[in-house]
Structure 1
Amino acid sequence: MVSDRADETTPFLAMEVFRRASERADAVHLEVGEPDFEPPGYVVDAAVDALRRGDTGYTAAAGKLGLREAIADYYDRTYGVDVSPERILVTPGSSPGLLLACLATLDPGDEAVLTDPHYACYPNFVRQTGATVRTVELDATEGFALRPDRFAAALERDPEVLLLNSPANPTGAVMDGDTLREVVELAETRGTTVVADEIYHGLDYDVEARSVLEFTDEAFVTDGFSKRYAMTGWRLGWVVVPESYADVVNRLVQNLFICAPSFVQEAGRVALEREDDHLDRVRETYRERRDLLVDAVADWGHGLDLGYTPGGAYYLLVDVSELGDAFDVADRLLDEAGVATTPGVDFGPAAADYLRLSYATSMDRLREADRRISVWLADV
């Protein structure tokens, strides 16, 4: 018999759309958040060198000390915060870090608060613990900004966890420092543990993304190499934990994941230690792509509405309600125009009338998507 937790785990629609779109050789992929960049050459070289010298065995569950020290140095130079390597655990991707945070803080019957919209997989991480989800709806007219007053009512119930994501998937919203500080202080007054997904840090365009660790040592923070370094398939991330949780999370890693791949950890260390203009180039490229797609949506007409400019990550949420059901619109765009998008319902009820469009693809492909959608809309 299938367990209730497994049965209640919902599919990730973006990957379902990706599967369908991959059957079309001419599809323009705006559905998945996978960078089209290659990892820096020195990162690839570091992995190959590690393989050639036989660096293919187990590591400590927490990860190689050299990588954890490089991560600690990253927090020092980027945010001016002192994080002990003992609080850092390396994970095979950032998603395991989120699961570990949930397993370490939630019991059956507990409650975790998420924003709505939210990353599609968050509720499923919570469900694996037997806890329940409570959502705080964000306002599209405010650019899906995270406002402290919107969290106040939800936190009155003293939930165990508040899960934050900035820059956010699927909205691209970025919390400024004052807002993040206020939300963290609000959570701490209720005894609620903050879990922050910071995987899109570094991809911020108008407002500087601030780390939760600047405002508290008692939060869980996940991050990784997939987005900034285009290392999605390398599966390398980390979680920073409060000091009192380091031992228990280490035990969870030992049992659930053993460790992240050793040679990939070497590549991650080099990525963090090498100072160059890689991230600046990536950020500016995404800014140009964002601006192109924002302008394109404004020109499409037909009631399509964006209403805001995302400040980070590489997504837009576009209101397609005047064209019909978002599922149907996504199906027609793929079948009739060859453009793959993700129905917004994957990201919560507040996004049900929207499509998520990713601009993690080339300018040429974005222009082609714009052309195809414009032609398609002319016949609608």
Structure 2
Amino acid sequence: MKLSQRSGTIEQSHIRSMTRACNVMNGINMAQGVCDLEVPRAVIEGAYGAMNEGINIYTPTEGLPRLRQAIADKMKRFYEVDIVPEQVLVSDGATGAFYTACMALLNPLDEVILFEPYYGYHRSTLTSLGAVPTYVRLEAPEWKLDMDALEAVVTSKTRAMVICNPANPSG
């Protein structure tokens, strides 16, 4: 079987590499959202009850209406932001949302600014889609943005910049 041209851009996540190293050492994994606690009985029973009621099909692409309403309500309570459920898109996590947004917005050779240190998945996603990451280094300990450094990387091909706050992996 012949692999795609972009298959060479796929790489193992550093988080997963750290998980493997942790497992070899029988360590405690603090590298990603891995939980070794038992699933609470209420969650198991709730899932079982929902399946018994026939709630076992794919959800709408944008998310369940009740969940979208709850998110809109929370935005109002927590942040005083008025949105309607139709403005809410539920994703399968930040990774899926980032990939989907990049697929929808970027073309091959579009430039995207990443602030260093950056989350490795952001760079690998961009390169796998043919986008070109450009970098602006943020220096410890303040991690302040140098506007001259930012302006220096902006070109006519710049399509986006990734703002990850709090910055991952620096906190």
Instruction: Give TM-score scaled by structure 1 length.
Output: 0.40
Ranges in structure 2 where 5+ consecutive residues have no aligned partner: none
CA gap 1:171/1:42 in 2 versus in 1, 3 angstroms: farther
Matched, 1:17 2:18: yes
Cα distance in 2 for residues equivalent to 1:69 and 1:42: 26
Relative to structure 1, the CA distance from residue 150 to residue 76 in structure 2 (aligned partners, 3 Å threshold; closer, same or farther) is: farther
Residue 3 (structure 1) aligns with: 4
Q: What pairs up with 1:172-183 in 2 under 5 angstroms?
A: 172=171
Tell me the alpha carbon deviations over residues 354-378 of structure 1, each in whole angstroms, 9 at most, x when there is no partner: xxxxxxxxxxxxxxxxxxxxxxxxx
1:341 is aligned to none
Structure 1 residue identity aligned to 2:153: A
Runs of 4+ residues deviating >4 angstroms: 35-43, 146-150
Q: 1:40: Cα distance to partner?
A: 9.5
Structure 2 counterparts to residues 71-86 of structure 1, below 5 A: 71-86=71-86
| AA aligned opposite 1:168 | A
SS of the counterpart of 1:91? coil
Per-residue deviation, 1:83: 2.4
Number of the residue aligned with 2:131 = 131
1:269-294 residue CA offsets vs partner (Å, 9 max, x unmatched): xxxxxxxxxxxxxxxxxxxxxxxxxx
Residue deviations 1:115-170, cap 9 Å, x none? 1111110012212332111111010132x244555433333546111111111210
Shift of 1:107: 0.6
Q: Distance in 2 between matches of 1:72 and 1:149?
A: 37
SS in 2 for 1:141: coil
What does residue range 85-234 of structure 1 map to in structure 2 within 5 Å?
Answer: 85-142=85-142, 144-146=143-145, 148=147, 150-155=149-154, 157=156, 159-172=158-171
Q: Secondary structure at the match of 2:120?
A: coil
Q: Higher strand share goes to which structure? A: 1
Inter-CA distance 74–40: structure 2 relative to 1 (3 Å threshold): farther
**Percentage of pairs with the same residue:** 29
Separation of aligned partners in 1, 2:89 and 2:146: 31
In structure 1, the residue corresponding to 2:136 is in which secondary structure?
strand
Question: Using a 3 Å threshold, how does the CA distance of structure 1 residues 157 and 42 change in structure 2: closer, same or farther?
Answer: farther
Cα offsets for 1:3-32 (capped at 9, x unmatched): 23220122212212312322343x2334x1
C-alpha spacing 1:34/1:73, structure 2 compared with 1 (3 Å): same
